[in-house]
Amino acid sequence: MALKGRYIDRQPLDSSALVSVGYHPEDQTLAVEFASGVHHLADVTPEEFAAFQASESKGKHFHQFLRSKPSAKVEAPRMGTCEKCGTKGLTGFLCQDCGTSDYA
């Protein structure tokens, strides 16, 4: 079952379908951020995550191979952009590059 409420660090993606993604290998849980929110998908093996990471199109790979996994929408910080330097990070945290602004 997907991990409700557990924080999984995510990295921004250059994808029109997916905003960010992270993986918790011990629990085999994939965290995916869409425009509509963050979802945790259960039972994603390390091999499946590696194939996802290696895919040319993350959105196509997700929809073809992973979207049928058990999932749950979770409350989690969303991906934002630092207003000062433009880097991406999780809202509510100071920018890791310039350290002065919150990701908005």
* Segment 1-11, tens digit of pLDDT: 445 556 788 99
Q: Is there a domain that residue 24 lies in? A: yes
Can you say whether the dihedral through the CA atoms of 39, 8, 64, 69 is positive or negative?
negative
Domain span at residue 51 reads 11-77
Q: Is the pTM of this model over 0.75?
A: yes
Per the structure, the count of domains in the chain is 1
CA 9 to chain centre: 7
Look at residue 48 and tell me if it is in a domain.
yes
pLDDT tens-place string over residues 54-82: 999 999 999 999 999 999 888 877 878 88
Domain contains 89? no
In a domain, 73, yes or no: yes
The number of beta carbons lying within 10 Å of the beta carbon of residue 23 is 22
Q: Does residue 22 lie within any of the structural domains?
A: yes
Question: What's the confidence (pLDDT) of residue 102?
Answer: 77
Let me know if residue 65 belongs to a domain: yes
**Measured distance CA(2)–CA(71) in Å, rounded:** 6
Which helix (H) or strand (E) segment is 72 a member of?
strand 71-74
Average pLDDT score over residue span 17-25: 95
31 is a domain residue: yes
